[in-house]
Amino acid sequence: MIGNFKNTDITAANVFHGIRVVLSMIEFDIGTRIPLESGGELEILRTVGDGGQGTVYKTAYSSREYALKWYKPEYLKDLEDKGILRKFRDNISENVKNGPPSDKFIWPLMLTADHEGGFGYLMALKPDNYQDFTDIFNTHDKYGKKVEFRDLKAAVNSALNIVEAFKVLHRSGYTYLDLNDGNFFINTQNGDVLVCDNDNATSQPIFNIGKPGYMAPELVRCDKGVNSSALTDYHSLAVVLFKLLIRHDPLMGKNYVKSVCISAEKERELYGVNPVFIFDPHDDSNRPVFNIHANPINLWPLYPMYIQSAFVRSFSEGMKQPGKRLTEYEWTKVLVKLRDEIITCACGAGMFLSGLDPHELIECPHCGHTYDYPKHIELEDFRISIFPGNEILNCHIHGGEDYKTVAGKVVRSRKDHARLGIKNWSARSWRIKYPDGEVEVVAPGKIAVSQLGMEIEFAPGVIAQVIE
């Protein structure tokens, strides 16, 4: 027993600026008190999570509750062996000083003092209604409880919100050092995203660490002069989105299965030296394996061509040419497009229109209810299905990246259920021109009845048409 640690099994020890780095499995007892760098002490209340880098505890400090990420000795030892432990700690100190880029980041708030051979930092606790990305990916949490999105829209919203988080982080001058699926907490009801593990965000990418499956291949290979940057993050972003939508590792195919043992050297080969996208159109050597990789085989064909193309560009051309990787703006555009295609049955089941035959009735695969194939609002870059609940967003009308502000919504008539209309949620009146030439002004809060061939002027010069 060393101090308040339990289960101690000392296998090696090192000294880092006065800290004795102990290689062992350790866990703090409830009630353990740990001093903070800025003064005062926190108290351990219970363990709440365990990851590759550290253990997370619920703690109390100054009458409030916080999460404490306490680094595993083996992780600190690894950083020390690479000669970057001091820089790593200084980076967290810097992040604490600078504060978070937005309220979507669970940011380091305070560092602990060096204590019993290690250190950690305090951050806000994960709200109860958010789930770990890892649990969503695995479809269940560590207790075996099912974890899934409420509907398809919530899933696509979460993808958009992850892209948004990257954008905010990059615009604040940060990049990620070690991005992985443990970085995100997601509200499965609406797709809201919180970013955690922000000890890995840095404004001075002077060292590289990370998980090969998420790191850009040039970082895995340790190419000379290459540091983490927005371009390397674009690779990680594409990996996270692929895992979210296709539920699989984009490089885990035949080549991975063929490997008897996934050693560090093999990982370097699969993710750095010779990375092959499982759906690379010009190289089929690493295709998903039937009976082993069910998710990519079943899910990939359900996505429209522009989503497949986005991943192909990211993981085929973008693998060798970082400049070809999709930026946040490009991802936002294709993901908004994807969301526009979702129709949600009254039972809650969602479907992508792209996979359905426009000449046939749509039958909900969940409850069997049937619907007419919807008409569309055609804008210059977007096509929005006129289906109850679908939204017209600011980015549809004005371009740009504002996918959150709703300007209009498809609604069903209360008197005649078969009739659909578009409710003006914006602050501006719309000018409608019907096929017979009649013109109508739809004020904010009012509804334009949908009619084939009608034109809607959402803003001066932005004219959409209702088409089949």
Binding stretches for Zn ion (CB under 5 A): 345, 347, 349, 364, 366-367, 369
Shortest Å distance, C-beta 351 to Zn ion: 9
Q: Which CB, 363 or 455, lies closer to Zn ion? A: 363
Cβ atoms of 467 and 452 within 8 Å: the answer is yes
Q: 57: which strand partners?
A: 47, 68
Closest Cα partner for 395 from 465, 329, 441?
A: 329
Shortest Å distance, C-beta 346 to Zn ion: 6
Q: d(Cα 168, Cα 97) in Å, to the nearest integer?
A: 18
Shortest Å distance, C-beta 370 to Zn ion: 10
Q: Which CB, 15 or 367, lies closer to Zn ion? A: 367
The packing angle between helices 305-312 and 328-340, to 10°, is 160
Q: d(Cα 34, Cα 40) in Å, to the nearest integer?
A: 9
Q: d(Cα 271, Cα 276) in Å, to the nearest integer?
A: 8
Shortest Å distance, C-beta 393 to Zn ion: 25
Shortest Å distance, C-beta 347 to Zn ion: 3
Residues recorded for the chain: 468
Shortest Å distance, C-beta 412 to Zn ion: 15
Phi, psi of 227 (to 5 degrees): -120, 165
Determine the longest span between alpha carbons in the chain, in angstroms.
86
Q: Which CB, 45 or 349, lies closer to Zn ion? A: 349
Cβ atoms of 176 and 201 within 8 Å: the answer is yes
Type of residue at 105:
F
Shortest Å distance, C-beta 345 to Zn ion: 3
Q: Which CB, 86 or 369, lies closer to Zn ion? A: 369
Q: d(Cα 278, Cα 286) in Å, to the nearest integer?
A: 5
C-alpha R_g of the chain? 25
Q: Which CB, 257 or 346, lies closer to Zn ion? A: 346
Q: Which CB, 86 or 366, lies closer to Zn ion? A: 366
Q: d(Cα 405, Cα 118) in Å, to the nearest integer?
A: 45
CB atoms within 10 A of CB 392: 26
Q: Which CB, 90 or 372, lies closer to Zn ion? A: 372
